[in-house]
Structure 1
Amino acid sequence: MSDFKWRHFQGDVILWAVRWYCRYGISYRDLEQMVSERGVPVDHSTIYRGVQKYAPEIEKRLRWHWRRPQSTSWRVDETYVKVRGQWTYLYRAVDKFGNTIDFYLSATRNAKAAKRFLGKALNGLKDWEKPRVINTDKAPTYGIVIAQLKAEGRCPDELVHRQVKYLNNVVEADHGKLKQLIKPVRGFKTLKTAYATIKGFEVMRTLHKGQAAIFNLTRDIRGEARIVERAFGIGSSVLAEAVEMLAQNLQGQTA
């Protein structure tokens, strides 16, 4: 069954709008006008519903493309996101090179939320992919949580917990770039809708950082778009595209 059955628009058009919104930090109303200029009349509320449905699905389908830390030295921190006038907490982890490892939006900032986040970040990683160093701020909850995860065998016993402020500059800078995408949003109404939208922002940031570069055959923005489209079965498979590109290159060399 098609992922876009009963939708008003074709799948490539829907993904096009969702990608633009999640990658460029524009308002729904601005995107409505931009899409209309391309001959696709669509209401901003329709784009909103598309983002809510397909941004989490894009993140889910592409997780395995990018979620492999390039370093075992992690930087963990949380930033603030306002939801219905109240501050919520977006937990985020990057490696020392700034590559996104994982994220988690919580209504609370406590040991339970921190443990849920770190457990999520560790889940599915091979032993050699798990961190050997985690740097955090001075919040005491992280030390408690890391000790619990060690006792449960979910992270290495030799893991070192550091609380060096300047080492977290890389994750704080990454917060700022994410906030640029969040800024045009005219207020999140619920934690669910906020998390769904942020999933789209985060996954498009990982593609922009080049974390799925091995799947970006053209090494450009179009290649990023094709990664998303292929995840939904739109167009040729990555193997077919690679063969076609190779044939074109060989033809060009012999011409």
Structure 2
Amino acid sequence: MKTTPTTPSYKGFRFPPEIINHAVWLYFRFSLSFRDVEELLAQRGIVVTYETVRQWCLQFGQVCANELRRRRPKTGDTWHLDEVCLKINGKTHYLWRAVDQYGNVLDILVQSRRNKNAAKKFFRKLLKRLHHVPRVIITDKLKSYGAAKREILPGVEHRQHKGLNNRAENSHQPTRLREKKMRRFKSAKHAQRFLSAFGLIAGHFQPRRHCLSAEEYRAILQTRFQIWNEVTETKTAA
């Protein structure tokens, strides 16, 4: 099953796509607030309000993230799963995250529980999104994973060891940084909406630099900027 390509529509906006998508890129790529982006644009003579930047990110962030997901190569066959606690309006929620062995974010889901049913819901979301079954899943020792895996992925190898799951645990660090910058998420829906786009867009511009030479890194980054320009229908300067 293939997803239908989607492109953002800029009809009715008074600013050109180049400015809109630069603002979206700044917000999702770096640990910036809407007001920070407003100030960076003002330094270049572009006068917009932080509320305008917020609307741009709401309207175009997820569309661009979905297209980046569609264009990326097939993900790895080893899935690392982990959950981290989020405090939202004084209530405890859990951010479930899955990454492959290369650190690519496969999907996230914000839920109020971390029991067997919550794990099953996350497994189903992953399978629906990726359309393939992993060879191995690696988790910590939370029993909910094993119980859900026996029903949803009975033939898949399951390794439960906290030390093997650093890939997933490290992938939570950018989220913690943004959570602090945003002074916590306002609601579970807000967290789900933001992180669904953030993980894909930020990850797209963060290849595993420590594994690459300087020349390889620059070449990969140039390719990824080209993909971003195609996704956002942004024209590059001649």
Fold equivalence (TM over 0.5): yes
Change in 2 beyond 3 A, CA 1:144/1:69: same
CA pair 67-188 structure 1, distance change in 2 beyond 3 A: farther
Q: Indicate if the aligned counterparts of 2:27 and 2:37 stay in contact, CA closer than 8 A.
A: yes
Letter in 2 for 1:88: H
Count of residues paired in the alignment: 223
Using the TM superposition, give the Cα deviation of residue 192 of structure 1 relative to its aligned residue in structure 2, in angstroms.
2.4
Distance of 1:159 and 1:75 partners within structure 2: 13
Residue 99, structure 1, aligned to residue 126, structure 2: no
Q: What letter matches 1:144 in structure 2? A: A
Q: Is the 8 Å Cα contact of residues 96 and 170 (structure 1) preserved in structure 2?
A: yes
Whether 1:17 aligns to 2:23 is yes
Partner residue, 2:233: 233
Return the match for 2:52 from 43, 46, 50.
Answer: 46
Change in 2 beyond 3 A, CA 1:200/1:104: same
Which protein shows a greater Rg? 1
Quick check: 1:25–1:182 contact (8 Å CA) kept in 2?
A: no
Which deviations, in whole Å up to 9, do the C-alpha atoms of 1:123-144 show, x marking residues without a partner?
Answer: 35465xx312111122211112
Distance in 2 of aligned mates of 1:83 and 1:6: 35
- Counterpart for residue 142 of structure 1: 145
1:98-247, aligned counterparts within 5 Å? 98-123=103-128, 125=130, 127=132, 130-150=133-153, 157-210=154-207, 219=219, 221=221, 223-235=223-235
Residues 88-128 of structure 1, C-alpha deviations (whole Å, 9 max, x = no match): 2211111233232222222332322222222222235465x
Gaps in structure 2 of 5+ consecutive residues: 1-6, 209-217
By how many angstroms is 1:78 displaced? Answer: 1.0
What is the aligned counterpart of 1:80 among 54, 78, 85?
A: 85
Distance change (3 Å), C-alpha of 1:80 and 1:227: farther
Normalization by structure 1: what TM-score? 0.77
Q: Tell me the alpha carbon deviations over residues 19-73 of structure 1, each in whole angstroms, 9 at most, x when there is no partner.
A: 1111111122112111110111111111112112211111222212236223x22
**Residues 26-65 of structure 1 correspond to what in structure 2 (within 5 A)?**
26-65=32-71
On the 8 A contact 2:8/2:60 being kept in 1, the answer is no
Q: Which amino acid aligns with 1:112?
A: N
Q: TM-score, normalised by structure 2?
A: 0.82
What is the aligned-residue identity percentage?
Answer: 30
